[in-house]
Amino acid sequence: MATMKDKTFYKGFDKDFKCKGFQFEIGKTHEHDGKIKVCESGFHSCLNPVDVLNYYNMTNRFAEVKVSGVIDSSRKDDSKISSSKITVKSEISVSNFIKICVAYLKKECRSGELSSSECYVQLSSSEECIRFASSGEYSKLYSSGKYSQLASSGDFAKLASSEKHSQLVSSGDHSKLAVSGDFSKLASSGDCNTLLSTSNHSKLASSGNYNQLASSGEHSRLTSLGIYSNLASTGDFSNLTSSGNFSKLEALGESSVISCSGPNGKVKGGKKCALSLTRYVSDEKRYRITVAYVGENGIKEDTWYELDVNGNFVETI
């Protein structure tokens, strides 16, 4: 057990600003009376904002918090802690949360230089047209030069780039890719990966299951082929596409396009967004697609929709 002061932590909530049924309030300090054990009891939060996405997706709400009192930080595989006191300082928009995550990953990845170990390798460069490749687990690759290429095949890898026209590729599971340079490309074929971008004209693609893709830049393209994927975009004129079942796609920017070709999906769009959902009709033994437009025929902004048995858009949670 330890006491932590003057550190910023991050926490996720459901749409009602609750966590496991407990109602939180912005600006209020909450106290837990009882045992403090990470993943069991107490108020949970993460020092690394990206770790919050291990427990929440981009369709949830986020906040900056301060922790105090008794703290259990014994968890080893991420920065999640449990505390007896927690103060919710302020809510963070999805767009700003993406930026915070990208900035944190960039800082973490460039903190080390080349290591001789196959696992836990760290490579950092500011040169243009640099190429990094790692096959070890828990690798960290960072580049601040233009036209860089970063590739990893190991699990739990972290790749980050801050310049234009970068390419980040990962085939391992539980990896995290972040980019802030325009015209960049992020690709992942592993499961449970997180791809984040704050740049314009970026392309994020994933073929694995349970992945999260999020972008705050304009004219971005997010594509997922795996099941239970979550795609979120806050930039205007973005394009989100998913072919996996049970996926959730959210585009809060104006004039974006959302296409969910896998059945049992959910979509949410901003102003002037075009939405499409797919269902399988057993009697006809075929798939049917329903299209809707935000602002027309009762389709609302910032509202989740799914299809009913008749193929109509209906509000959901």
Q: How many residues are given for the chain? A: 317
Residues 6+ apart with CB under 8 A from 283: none
pTM of the model: 0.81
Residue range 69-81: mean pLDDT, rounded: 92
What is the structure's pLDDT at 1? Answer: 44
Does residue 53 register a pLDDT over 70?
A: yes
DSSP 130: -
- Tens digits of per-residue pLDDT, 140-158? 898 888 899 999 999 999 9
At 98, phi and psi to the nearest 5? -60, -45
- Tens digits of per-residue pLDDT, 273-315? 999 999 999 999 999 999 999 999 999 999 999 999 999 999 9
What is the structure's pLDDT at 115? Answer: 34
What is the structure's pLDDT at 117? Answer: 38
| Number of other CB atoms surrounding residue 90 within 10 Å | 9
At 56, phi and psi to the nearest 5? -135, 155
Does residue 13 register a pLDDT over 80?
A: yes
pLDDT grade for 109, boundaries at 50, 70 and 90? confident
Residue range 126-138: mean pLDDT, rounded: 79
Give the SS3 label for residue 151. Answer: strand
- Give percent of the chain with pLDDT exceeding 70: 93
pLDDT grade for 163, boundaries at 50, 70 and 90? confident
271/123: higher pLDDT: 271
Residue pair 271/254 in contact by the 8 Å Cβ criterion: yes
Q: Which of 247, 249, 207, 203 is CA-nearest to residue 226? A: 207
Residue range 172-189: mean pLDDT, rounded: 94
- 46-55, 100-109, 213-222, 300-309: the lowest-pLDDT one: 100-109
What is the structure's pLDDT at 107? Answer: 84
What is the residue-wise DSSP string for 205-246?
EE-SSS-EEEE-STT-EEEE-STT-EEEE-STT-EEEE-STT
How far is Cα 136 from Cα 155, in angstroms, rounded to an integer? 7
Residue range 116-122: mean pLDDT, rounded: 52
Does residue 43 register a pLDDT over 60?
A: yes
Q: Which of 98, 99, 100 is CA-nearest to residue 57? A: 98
Query: Radius of gyration over alpha carbons of the chain, in Å?
Result: 20
Does residue 162 register a pLDDT over 80?
A: yes
Residue range 251-262: mean pLDDT, rounded: 96
Phi-psi region at 67: left, alpha or beta (left = phi > 0; alpha = psi -120 to 50): beta
- In angstroms, what CA-CA distances link 167 with 36, 37, 150, 159, 188? 43, 40, 6, 10, 11
How far is Cα 274 from Cα 288, in angstroms, rounded to an integer? 17
What is the structure's pLDDT at 119? Answer: 61
pLDDT grade for 113, boundaries at 50, 70 and 90? very low
How is residue 24 written in tokens? 């939180």
Task: Quote the mean pLDDT of the chain.
Answer: 91
What is the structure's pLDDT at 58? Answer: 84
What is the structure's pLDDT at 133? Answer: 85
Does residue 3 register a pLDDT over 70?
A: no
H helix intervals, the chain: 94-109
How is residue 127 written in tokens? 């040169």
What is the structure's pLDDT at 135? Answer: 85
Does residue 92 register a pLDDT over 80?
A: yes
145/12: higher pLDDT: 12
Residue range 99-119: mean pLDDT, rounded: 68
